[in-house]
Chains A and B, each alone.
Chain A
Amino acid sequence: MERCAVVGIGQTKHAKVREDLSMAGLVREAAQRALDDAEMTWRDIDAVVIGKAPDQFEGLMMPEVYLADALGATGKPIFRVHTAGSVGGSTAVVAAHLVTSGVHEKVLTVAFEKQSEGDTTWGLGGGRSGSIGAGGYFAPHIRAYIERSNAPEYIGWMVALKDRKNALKNPYAHLKLEELTLEMIKESPMVWEPVRRLEACPASDGAGAMVLASEKVADAASKPPAWVHGLAVRSELGQFPGRDPVNPQGGRDCAADVYKQAGITNPRQEIDMAEIYVPFSWYEPMWMENLGFAAEGEGWKMTDEGATDFGGDLPTNVSGGVLSSNPIGASGMLRFLEAASQVRGTAGEHQVDGARTALGHAYGGASQFFAMWIVRSAKP
């Protein structure tokens, strides 16, 4: 297996409506920034891997067909991934394998969603009216978590406040809630018991992109690369008796796989920061347990004790996370590229001091699709 590194990163300014851009313009904004960062041009790219969530969100079937021109793919391979909410992560994994396999040396990977083109809640209901949306689907899992762990109600509010405060340091973040307080979250309307409005992700237009490269290309780059040390995906059936959707086996297996590849035996100690997929506040403590950062039932204590704060021992979602920007198909890739940006030391105002090992995480479907990577500043 060849080594693979991130040598270019780009993302759009995420917003409720990017009415200044077409879908082609949206993916180009992110991709051009990734190419600029990599000090490459469109001509340098060997292949393009694009991902997004269901095509019905925009009403455009298999958009890679139309976006081939905008992504400079004419005469080249363009490949389309769709694994529900985890797709942004899965897309980066597919692109990385094109490099680790030795098939290509310079791969552009892009993920996007232009939620303003359609009605995502309708889409999330499988295209039926009267959809309960993603929040309605996940709320029972969150209630089950709270009952199992005896976590106090304010944990969810703390996560929502932390991620929105972090977003103030990220120039690309959608939500900029400068005046937000714990009290405001607590008083916001109950949408899906126990999820309050301010504990839920927004709907965003946005895209993220990366240039992934071989060791030879990364060694020659003028900027520091982020080296891929672990790469894994897992899928499991969404519904059957005995399945635990609160702490799914697929997530635990996927984490164990990337840790093993990266030689990590104590993730809490060895990982400097994490960008994880938290669309509803309670998923921070839930995933802390699933990812092995905390024992079962103890994840909420990490939030309570400030371990996941910007200055904590495992800063989590310092970019503001999915709670601050949610272009669904891109949200997983944003986690992956933020993790890479941290170990390159290029995260700007939300840079975690001394971040050398980072985790990027995405999940999708009925908490049944997982994609993860471990990136480091050092070569494997």
Chain B
Amino acid sequence: MSRDVAIVSFASTSVTNTDVTETQLLYPVVTEAIEQSGIRRDEIEFTCAGSCDYLQGAPFAFVSNLEATGAWPPISESHVEMDGAWALYEAWVRLQDGDIDVALAFSSGVSSRAVDLNEVTNVQLDPYYLMPLWPGHLALNALQARALLDKGTYTERDFAAVAARSRSDGRSVDDLLNEPYVASPLRAHDLPPVNDGAAAVVMVAGDRAKEVCSRPAWITGIDHRTDAHYPGVRDLATATSARIAAEKAGVGDGDVDVAELYAATSAQELILRDALGLGDKVEINPSGGALASHPFMVAGLTRIGEAFRQINENGCNRVVAHATSGPALQQNLVAVLSAEMNTLAAPTMNGVAR
């Protein structure tokens, strides 16, 4: 049985074509998350950051992001070259040790300076057999969408419906279906925008979480898994690793009010709904998801932060958050957030002053 750990605060930013550095984007976000938590900066016992040097085009780019934490005197800190959702996972693991109670996780990414982000994501592929074909995430995600259509369960109209709901920009499904393909069968609205951003969460273990936050979001389950990298050796129309992660995180153990899914294409949302076993009653991505805002390396942690908000601000009881890494949903993380603690008798949240 895991130790009860809750998210007690979340802050984020997502902008277009920022003219500041990742560190500058991070600083106010980290500060806001800490101030919101009601916990002093020097009470944070472990910090984990996520980012990708390749986005800034400079090795060791992550080093300067340490400035956003004010790492002096020296802090116990680690960094993952992954989406911030995995930074949160490392911090959650560290809290499971039981010797510390407060952790900070954050991530950042400035993607807008790449002339073509697809050229950057191409460099994430197997360098010997796949990278030279230059598919990037775009072509692989399109192949995935095609594989999904070929199964016959969904149509391009379903893709457009996901896009229309996520973007909520007044265009109808029929309007969207009249648009040209970018990479068949995906149209512009099926693909995410390019954003720059940062996000931060503060996590607290045990009773301290209830002291600092009137309605913390308890992490009752969290797990991450990967699929094989080669697109030819797995069924792109399913997300096996997401399904396993969801089972391990206990998604099916109770009703789900809302799910925040990191779907970088409209087709991926449909694949994820099925993989996570989310029924029709589950509201998907009220935040708009990655189709509305897509700060690379931050979008996953943002899903978890939005899930926290659903519990903390909107009165939800059980919310699922998902993050992904790699092309075509190769690697997936699933977390279940709850208004109630895992191991102890559920305290009544009603009547507790904010």
Contacts and interface: CB of A to CB of B under 8 A. Distances in A.
Interface residues of B, number: 63
Contact of B228 (A68, A101, A248): A68
Interface in A60-86: 60-62, 64-69, 73-84
Nearest to B326: A65
Interface stretch (A32-40, A173-181, A229-237, A307-315): A229-237
A118 to B, nearest CB: 10
A127 B57 contact: yes
B97 A68 contact: no
Contacts of B331: 65, 68, 78
Given A60-B127, A126-B60, A55 B81 contact: yes
A346 interface: no
Interface string B228-243: 1110010000001100
Contact of A126 (B59, B89, B130, B224): B59
Given A22-B128, A61-B120, A233 B81 contact: no
B78 A81 contact: yes
Contacts of B62: 82
B257 interface: no
Contacts of A59: 123, 127
22 contacts: A22-B128, A56-B59, A60-B123, A61-B52, A61-B120, A65-B229, A66-B124, A67-B229, A68-B226, A69-B230, A73-B226, A74-B241, A76-B226, A77-B226, A78-B331, A79-B86, A79-B89, A94-B90, A101-B97, A233-B77, A237-B67, A368-B66
Interface size class of A (residues with CB under 8 A): 35 or more
Interface string B89-110: 1100110111100000000000
Nearest to B69: A235
B75 interface: yes
Nearest to B55: A61
Nearest to A65: B326
A238 B230 contact: no
B37 interface: no
A103 B93 contact: yes
B97 A1 contact: yes
Interface string B31-50: 00000000000000001000
Interface string A82-95: 11100000100110
A283 interface: no
Given A103-B93, A238-B63, A253-B73, A56 B80 contact: no
B76 interface: yes
B144 to A, nearest CB: 15
B267 to A, nearest CB: 20
B58 interface: yes
A373 interface: no
Nearest to B248: A77
Contacts of A79: 80, 82, 86, 89-90, 224
Interface string A186-225: 0000000000000000000000000000000000000000
Contact of B63 (A1, A57, A84): A84
B240 A75 contact: yes
A94 B230 CA distance: 27
Interface string A341-380: 0000000000000000000000001101000000000000
A234 B77 contact: yes
Given A22-B128, A65-B325, A84-B63, A235 B97 contact: no
Interface in A15-34: 22-23
Nearest to A251: B74
A271 interface: no
Given A79-B80, A82-B81, A365-B60, A235 B75 contact: yes
Contact of B78 (A58, A94, A98): A94
Most B-side CB within 10 Å, residue of A77, A90, A93: A77
A235 B127 contact: no
Contacts of B61: 126
A47 to B, nearest CB: 9
Contacts of B98: 1
A68 B79 contact: no
B300 to A, nearest CB: 13
A178 B57 CA distance: 41
A84 B62 CA distance: 9
Given A249-B73, A253-B73, A66 B126 contact: yes
B158 interface: no
A62 B325 contact: yes
B27 interface: no
Nearest to A125: B59
B340 interface: no
B226 A82 contact: no
B94 A101 contact: yes
A236 B226 contact: no
Contact of B74 (A68, A97, A250): A250
Nearest to B244: A75
